[in-house]
A = this chain, B = another copy of it.
């Protein structure tokens, strides 16, 4: 049970976490702060938060759990602004899609209070950002990756695990390095490719006509190209080495495809597609929520 949840950044992610805790009767009180007062006000009107705080620090005052749900690039300044009220029993989490940069920022910002910080990355979201899309079920059945530091206090790591599990998420822990390498492959690169693909189509002289012809395959393939620009700017820059490395791997596979196409090698092309299509048809997104795995 959380006595008081402090949410810094009342957007989709922070708001959904607050709603989920409330829905499960896990938070007695939620205090929220957003840089934009109108957002904080809206969160309060929507019942996502109970109290609108006038600063990040005031949202943290008296909170035993703090969720920092700001753009990754704002994490360091945010942590710095709240550090004085982060006591040893306070659990502080983020929701960033990259973890090495967040860990670096936390080390710089929190100093000897780093033990309170448990980096978290919920694998959930919507293209539509903002508090108005907050959803108590956003994390249900989704994976949440925790990347605890050597300094993270074990009881706070456990508390983080229990909280996410209690709202239906499936909790995994890994190192920040492993996290960033893996998500460069399965999340960051697809976003980069979807941006580049949609940009290449829309940017053609006939772009508008082309877009009018596109069907359901195009719709799903490009869905993530509508993702939040500031968030993805930060992710692609923060994880650039891993992303560029995965992009190289992708280009090599694309090269192989194009060579077969150019050569008209129907059998090899079919075999290549068949293996991939089979694997994709077998693939299933992480199953129903199970017991937390550590």
Contact = CB atoms under 8 A, between A and B. Distances in A.
Given A189-B197, A226-B280, A280-B198, A247 B237 contact: no
Nearest to A265: B237
A202 interface: yes
Interface stretch (A1-9, A47-55, A60-68, A255-263): A255-263
Interface stretch (A23-31, A86-94, A146-154, A180-188): A180-188
Interface stretch (A35-43, A98-106, A111-119, A228-236): A228-236
A3 B212 CA distance: 34
Contacts of A209: 182
A187 B218 contact: yes
20 contacts: A123-B215, A124-B215, A125-B216, A187-B218, A196-B250, A198-B280, A199-B276, A203-B253, A204-B249, A212-B286, A214-B285, A215-B285, A218-B285, A220-B223, A225-B276, A225-B277, A233-B269, A236-B269, A240-B261, A251-B251
